[in-house]
Structure 1
Amino acid sequence: MTVAVPGLVRPRDVDEAVAVLADGAARPVAGATALLVDVARGAGAPSRLVDLTTLDELTALDPAAGSGLGSRRVGAAVSLARLVRSGGALGTAAAQIASHPVRLRATVGGNIVAPGWPHDLRTVLWALGATLEVAGPAARRRVAVSLDPRTLAPQEVLVALHVPSTPATVVAGGGVTAGRPALQVVVSRSTGRAAVGTSGWRRPLPATGTAAAAGTDIGAVLGDELVGLGVPRLVAHDLADRSARPAA
């Protein structure tokens, strides 16, 4: 039996979700982690919520890289915990976000587009050359992930991520122990981009992309760029050396 909840809309498909959001009075919701904190801070609850967790398009998750697919599709309503379990470079990076109880509820889409919140995955997705599939009143569109969080219009819905299945290297180090790394570096050999970060803090490493475009090995500049961010030299060059090796 379906239980009706006042103010909660469960759309039949993405087009209906977009139509409900068109008047600007409703807010899309999946994990609701950002919404709950916003309300606790006094922002007030919206009059209507659009539940995205029942839409197959938003909850589907392709296998990790190595499946033979040209790209991996990750629905926007997939939880971070599920993404971690799925493996791959993106899953490894997601394991550093927040705590396990938060990852059980927080979704990929919310992490990328929720206003006023750290977009931990955005820098990693940029490094991997991912694109976003977005649905709006006019049409669907695909847009490359940039470092600017202002990607969606108010009436648009993030449907999915498309992440190239090309190899990427993820290394970690600099912590008190090997099991508690302070930093994580993600390097995509296909895009020539890299990102460094830890939970709640991530930075692009643009010099690696410049080096790749000039035909220079990424590893030759990655260490110096990390040192420039304040990473101890021994840690920086260890991470750079391991990042420069081919992905397993």
Structure 2
Amino acid sequence: MADQENWISAVLGFGGMLATFVTAVATIFLWRVTKLLAKETTRMAEASDQPHVVATLSPNRWSLRHFDLVVDNTGNATAYDIQIQFDPALQNGEARREDAKIPFECVSVLKPGQGLRSYLADVSILEGKAFEVTISWRRGSKDKPRETNVYTLDMADYAGASELGRDPVIGIARSLEGVQKSLSSLTGTKRLKVDLYTAIDRSEQKRRAARELRRMRRARIATQALQSQQGSESSDPRPTPQELR
């Protein structure tokens, strides 16, 4: 009987030790999984909250033969101290002075979704070229490291591009320009004079018209009375002093 009790005690003790060991292993495993999950969550949060600046050459809205330099922050965080380099270097077109500075080489700040656009050159200057674009920026103060994005921008992407019809906004703008020219030719000046009347001006105009109407009515009544008086005098049968003589 005593041996049986010792055997049961030994089994229970071994079971308790085994349960303690399993619990310790599970705790260690859970700690490692929790730590890995926290690290991955932090990495995803940092990855989803960062700027991403891209510089491209895009056809102008008014003409496919003319290109604009466009800089966009496509990320969801603000980019600071942006520096942009093109290799080979960009050249100004015929509509810009040759000594004019290439725009957007340095940009102080771009908010998420914000972009900058400026006319650059005719397609003849850019055609057949491939640029290596290097863009770097900071996510905050100068103490933070710079982030760099390097890619190739090939103008062959626009080869064979054409347009069907015109942008409705461009059509409206040109129509308004034609209307302005027509009005200028009629008035002889580029500026159109406009007289603005308020409700007070209209009320005063109505009062003046009413006074003028009453004056004309009184004048007509007076004229009719004078004519009636002259008619009665001419029909009087009494002899005049000349006739009595």
TM range (shorter): under 0.3
TM-score by length of 1: 0.18
TM-score by length of 2: 0.19
Question: Which structure dedicates a bigger proportion of its chain to helix?
Answer: 2
